[in-house]
Structures are given as C-alpha cells and as structure tokens.
Amino acid sequence: MTPEQQRWFQEQGFLYMPGAVGKNVVQPFKTHVLNELKRLNIWSAGRAQSKKLQGVPVFQQTARLGQLISHPDLNEKLISKELHSAMCVLADSPLSGQGTQLLISLPHKVEWTLEGLNWHRDVSQSQLKGIPGVQAFILLDKVSPKGGATLALAGSHRLKNQSQAKQGISMLTGHGNNHSTKVGGIELSITEMAGGPGDVYLMDMRLLHTPSVNSTRNVRIMATNRYFIV
C-alpha cells in the first residue's frame, strides 16, 4: 500500500485496485453463478428463462438473487491476507469481516439513469465521526459501464451531514458520472465500480453508495464484504 494510495483513499473515500484478485480465482465463482442461474431456471444463454423475477422491483432483484445463490468458499478464496492487510492499513486499525456475499443483477431492460437511485450508508449517524470500516467489492466478471455496478459518491465521507450529501447528489444527477461539484468545500463525484474480472474497489463505509441500473445484456456478478474496526 503506497502513501499515494492512502492519500487518495483518505480524500476520495475509495481505492480502485485492478487485478487484485487473480482471474483464475474469480472464474470458478462466475461459473458457479451462471450454472446456478441456469439450474434455477432464471437465466441461460444470454436471456431470461422464466418470469419469476419480472415482478420484483429492479433494485430488489439483487437482494433476491443473493438469497437464492451463495458459495461457501467466497471469503476464504477472494479475501487474501494481502487484501485484508491493505484494508487494515487504510483503516489504520485491525478489521473483522462479516462474511462475503454475492451481488448479482440481471439485465433490467430499461435506460440507464441516475434518477431514483437508493443512495445510502450502511452505518449509523453515530459511526460517522471516524472511519468505521472498509467495504470490499470484488468483480467476478467484466462489469461494463452502465452494467449494474455499485455507484459511490466520492468525497461524501467528509461531509458534515446528510443534507449536504443530498444536495451533492441533486447537483450531480443529470450530469452523468464524469461530472463533479463542490458542496461545503468538498469536491464530490460519482464513481462507477466497473472493471475487469479480479478488480477490487475498497470503500470507506461512510461513503454514500447505491445499486445502479444494469442496462447491458450481461449479468452483473460481483461479491462484497464489510470489514469493521475491532
């Protein structure tokens, strides 16, 4: 972990680590997910096989698929000692994980948009005084732009209150994820966690983030784990 990476994480609230997990490690998990989607008669050969999820709202589909599909070796195989050590360095503290889970979203057949997203934090207001932990997002397959990747509001971990965060989101909505703005002297921008198999994003858990629309023709396959300071 270089000083430059640590400074970037402190300022932006996330760190992108291309190829942090080997492609040979993530490939079996991608295969497992696709096989399970086929076995469950949900998705195969590039198209939906049934209508069982058609009535489920777009952003609830990921939660539903996470309940249906799991793998016992996710944490052991995906979170190496080196990756865990990197997270501890970024948090400047020992960290304990909650367990790795899959993030899967089918193509949504709607236009990609920044409107109507579920921006949130996974920590309480009382945990915002200092970094409470680091969340890892591991790409198990190529995730293209507008392909359902998690979005994060870079810089939002340094905002003083929720109203400032909502102001920043309102100012950025409609400009796309290449735009930035300043709120309370803090520069904010939207980061899309897209990339290739084995790429990893590490995120300060105070950062606002949201699921996004998968407007591509491919299934989005990622995994995540939340690590809290012990």
In angstroms, the CA 228 to CA 230 distance is 6
Q: What confidence score (pLDDT) does residue 142 get?
A: 97
Q: What confidence score (pLDDT) does residue 221 get?
A: 97
Q: What confidence score (pLDDT) does residue 202 get?
A: 98
Checking 177-184 for CB contacts under 8 A at 24+ apart, the result is 177/114, 177/151, 183/159, 184/159, 184/160
Q: What confidence score (pLDDT) does residue 175 get?
A: 63
Exposure of 227 by Cβ count < 10 A (0-12 exposed, 13-18 middle, 19+ buried)?
buried
The encoded tokens of residue 24 equal: 């040979």
The encoded tokens of residue 192 equal: 């899309």
Q: What confidence score (pLDDT) does residue 178 get?
A: 59
Q: What confidence score (pLDDT) does residue 189 get?
A: 92
Domains defined for the chain, CATH in brackets: 3-229 (2.60.120.620)
Q: Which among 18, 3, 48 is positioned nearest to 197, based on CA atoms?
A: 18
pLDDT in tens, 11-66: 999 999 999 999 999 999 999 999 999 999 999 878 877 777 777 777 888 889 98
Q: What confidence score (pLDDT) does residue 102 get?
A: 95
- pTM of the predicted model, to two decimals? 0.93
Q: Are 193 and 57 in contact (CB under 8 A)?
A: no
Please identify every stretch of the chain with a pLDDT value under 70, giving residue numbers as ranges: 126, 174-178
In angstroms, the CA 123 to CA 62 distance is 20
